[in-house]
Amino acid sequence: MNNFTVEAIDLTRLYGGREAVSNVSFTLSKGQVLGFLGPNGAGKSTTMKMLTGNLAPSNGSVKICGIDMMENPKEAKALIGYLPEMRPLYKELTVDEYLTIAARLHRVSAGHIKKAVEIAKERCGLSHMSKRLIENLSNGYQQRVGIAQAIIHNPMVVILDEPTVGLDPIQIRDIRALIREVGSERSVIISTHILPEVEMVCDHVQIIDKGKLVFNGSIDVLKKQRIGNKLMIAMRNPPSVDEMLKVAGVVEAESLAGNLMRVRFADDAAPSEAIVQAAVINNWGLYQIAPDQTSLEDVFVQLTYQEQAEPEQVAA
């Protein structure tokens, strides 16, 4: 027995012959937060539906803590907390009533329901909203109720589909802290469009595009791709490219508009100092030097673009 909390094996889902998700396999261990990234319609939500047993996969299988979702759905579902993209809230009930029902349905023992509701409310910052009708809550608070519902039974795996949509920045920060907290002892899978969010809360990233996994690995790998080895230099009297190439460690230089110059350096070189010295000696009038970060967005576009560039180019 391994101790994977989530195991997806060759998940495939066909919609009328079209593959919405094809051969997605991954594993997740305790204490990991997995970020699910992908453009619209990539199959993130479909994958999540399959993981939670809301949708039967056309092929492949899902195991939650070693329990097969197809064979023992009840036992497997008991270990999952799920917040779908559309919040499943009964708006005619109050927060307390709704969470009590959620606890009951998720087999929280009768004696602990009250306590479980209190804890979930506290964790999601809902304590002062207990008696309010869900219908009358703001979008952000409704989202919190959705999250509270997913963690009320203290599940092994928490699956949140775009959890920070519609929240204000402070709430987003709170929810991210909550995700990290839950993720430290359990497993969390979140899907999102917001790339910095992935960087902040996740330690594993999966990028899915057109139903296929295009990237699956630790966040560090992605970060490394992102930071790269480039410098952006601004100078009042920029030198020619050839002059810049003479500086030790510089491999490539490129003149840009507005007195800017982008410099790529060798993998283990750190030419900043040399460049500054050269600038002083040659009177280049350097006034700004900074690492040139490819944004996570660029990495994301690169990864999903590579897929698109392959044979079957679909006319948009």
Partner 1 sequence: MIINVARKELKSMFASPMGWVILSLLMFAFGTYYLNGVNDYFAVMSGAMRPAERTGVTQFVGQNVYGFASFMVLFAVPLLSMRLISEERRSQTLPFLFSAPISLTEIVLGKFLGLVAFLSILVVFIGGMLSTLNIWADIDFGFIVANSIGLLLMVASFSALGLYFSSMTQQPVVAAILTFIALFALMFLDRFFAGDPSNTLASLSLTRHFQSFSGGLIDTADIAYFGLFIATFLTLTVRRLDADRLRG
Residue of 96, 97, 292, 298 that binds partner 1 (CB under 8 A): 97
Give the nearer residue to partner 1 in terms of CB position, either 23 or 294: 23
28-31 contacts at long range (C-beta below 8 A, 24 or more positions apart): 28/4, 28/157, 28/187, 28/189, 28/204, 29/3, 29/4, 29/5, 29/187, 30/3, 30/5, 30/156, 30/185, 30/186, 30/187, 31/183, 31/184, 31/185, 31/186, 31/187
Interface residue with partner 1, options 67, 93, 241, 301 (CB under 8 A): 93
Is residue 84 involved in binding partner 1 (CB under 8 A)? Answer: yes
**Contact call for residue 203 and partner 1 (CB under 8 A):** no
13 touches partner 1 by CB under 8 A: yes
- Out of 10, 92, 122, 254, which residue is the one contacting partner 1 (CB under 8 A)? 92
Does residue 77 bind partner 1 (CB under 8 A)?
Answer: yes
The residue from 10, 90, 139, 173 that contacts partner 1 (CB under 8 A) is 90
Region near partner 1 per CB under 8 A, out of 99-107, 165-173, 219-227, 301-309: 99-107
Of the residues 67, 101, 119, 276, which one makes contact with partner 1 according to CB under 8 A: 101
- Rounded to a whole number of angstroms, the minimum distance from the CB of residue 279 to partner 1 is 60
Residue 194 in the binding site for partner 1 (CB under 8 A)? no
**Which is closer to partner 1, CB of 15 or CB of 287?**
15
Region near partner 1 per CB under 8 A, out of 45-53, 207-215, 251-259, 281-289: 45-53
Contact 49, 79 (CB under 8 A): no
Residues forming contacts to partner 1 in the complex (CB under 8 A) are 13, 15, 46, 49, 52-56, 73-75, 77-78, 80, 82, 84, 86, 88-93, 97, 101-102, 104-107, 149
